[in-house]
Chain A
Amino acid sequence: DARVTQTPRHKVTEMGQEVTMRCQPILGHNTVFWYRQTMMQGLELLAYFRNRAPLDDSGMPKDRFSAEMPDATLATLKIQPSEPRDSAVYFCASGLGGPFGYTFGSGTRLTVV
Chain B
Amino acid sequence: KQEVTQIPAALSVPEGENLVLNCSFTDSAIYNLQWFRQDPGKGLTSLLLIQSSQREQTSGRLNASLDKSSGRSTLYIAASQPGDSATYLCAANAGGTSYGKLTFGQGTILTVHP
The answer to whether A and B belong to the same complex is yes
Question: Interface of chain A, helix or strand or loop or mixed?
Answer: strand
Q: CB-defined interface of A81-95 with B at 8 Å, one 1/0 digit per residue? A: 000000000010101
Selected from A42, A93, A99, the residue in CB contact (under 8 A) with B107 is A42
A to B contact number (C-beta, < 8 Å): 57
Known contacts A31-B100, A43-B89, A45-B101; A98/B44 CB under 8 A: no
Question: Interface of chain B, helix or strand or loop or mixed?
Answer: strand
Q: How far is the CA of A99 from the CA of B93 in the complex (A)?
A: 8
A105 within 8 A of B: yes
Q: CB-defined interface of B92-107 with A at 8 Å, one 1/0 digit per residue? A: 0100001111111111
B70 within 8 A of A: no
Q: How many Å from the CB of A46 to the closest CB on chain B?
A: 12
Known contacts A97-B99, A107-B43; A102/B104 CB under 8 A: no
Q: Looking at chain A, what size class is its interface with the partner chain?
A: 20 to 34
A105 touches B43 (CB 8 A): yes
| Stretch touching chain A among B17-25, B29-37, B60-68, B75-83 | B29-37
Q: Which residues of B contact A (CB under 8 A)?
A: 31-32, 34, 36, 41-46, 49, 51-52, 89, 93, 98-107
Known A101-B34, A102-B46; further 18 A-B contacts with Cβ < 8 A: A42-B106, A42-B107, A43-B104, A45-B102, A48-B101, A91-B43, A97-B100, A98-B100, A99-B32, A99-B93, A101-B32, A101-B46, A101-B49, A101-B93, A103-B46, A104-B46, A105-B43, A106-B43
